[in-house]
Chain A
Amino acid sequence: GDSVTQMEGPVTLSEEAFLTINCTYTATGYPSLFWYVQYPGEGLQLLLKATKADDKGSNKGFEATYRKETTSFHLEKGSVQVSDSAVYFCALSVPGGGYQKVTFGTGTKLQVIP
């Protein structure tokens, strides 16, 4: 079946450090890939997405590239801020089945310290 594997956290970085959160996936067909962010006490919010191979999603300084050859969708940011502290979820969605079936990773908690 479909699955998403992302690096375990928590990840602790100093402000302005470079961030990478690894995400790899297994899927039948051609999935769309997403990164969601969850701030404390809130629901998940879409951060970025990519719908086909070699697409790059970007938002708020975060980027991720859909790599079909390595089945990966790693999240990166060049300079993190304290306000980026949150839990990040990688997810995939595969067409078909009559509804939008989304498979989520287990989440990676990021803590940015001043």
Chain B
Amino acid sequence: NAGVTQTPKFRVLKTGQSMTLLCAQDMNHEYMYWYRQDPGMGLRLIHYSVGEGTTAKGEVPDGYNVSRLKKQNFLLGLESAAPSQTSVYFCASSRGLTTASNQPQHFGDGTRLSIL
């Protein structure tokens, strides 16, 4: 069972470069999320999607874009990377039910991104 798979696992970028983080889930989940994890700050929601073709802004969306062209994939893009975007990025997914609030989120292993 793959669950949620993130690629790449590590990446070093220079300021101003662009890149795309990939997330794939094989659980047929409706909802998908991108978080960033920084020391002492827990997880903060960047963007989320409630279904194929839909995306919405989370708590800290500036500097990021997302796309969900297929139900199983959720892409996070950095158009012009900045040192403040150095972080660990996690993708997660969950079932989209009317009782969605009590469903757990399933996480990938993260992408460690450093921007010099």
Q: With A and B bound together, what is the CA distance between A46 and B105 in angstroms?
A: 8
0 or 1 for each of B64-80: is its CB under 8 Å from A? (1 = yes): 00000000000000000
A-B contact count (CB 8 A): 60
Q: With A and B bound together, what is the CA distance between A99 and B4 in angstroms?
A: 19
What residues on B are CB-neighbors of A94 within 8 Å?
101
Q: With A and B bound together, what is the CA distance between A93 and B101 in angstroms?
A: 5
Known contacts A31-B101, A100-B31; decide if A106 and B41 are in contact (CB<8 Å). Answer: yes
In this complex, how many residues of chain A approach chain B with their Cβ under 8 Å: the count is 26
Interface membership of A11, Cβ < 8 A? no
In this complex, how many residues of chain B approach chain A with their Cβ under 8 Å: the count is 25
0 or 1 for each of B37-60: is its CB under 8 Å from A? (1 = yes): 000111101001010000010000
Q: Contact partner of A43 among B48, B100, B109, CB < 8 A?
A: B109
The listed residue with most A CB atoms (<10 A of its CB), out of B41, B99, B101, is: B101
Does B101 lie within 8 Å of A104, measured CB to CB? no
Does A98 lie within 8 Å of B90, measured CB to CB? no
Q: With A and B bound together, what is the CA distance between A100 and B31 in angstroms?
A: 8
Closest 3 A/B residue pairs (Cβ): A43-B107, A46-B104, A95-B101
The interface of chain B, by Cβ under 8 A from chain A, is 4, 31, 40-43, 45, 48, 50, 56, 90, 92, 94, 99-110
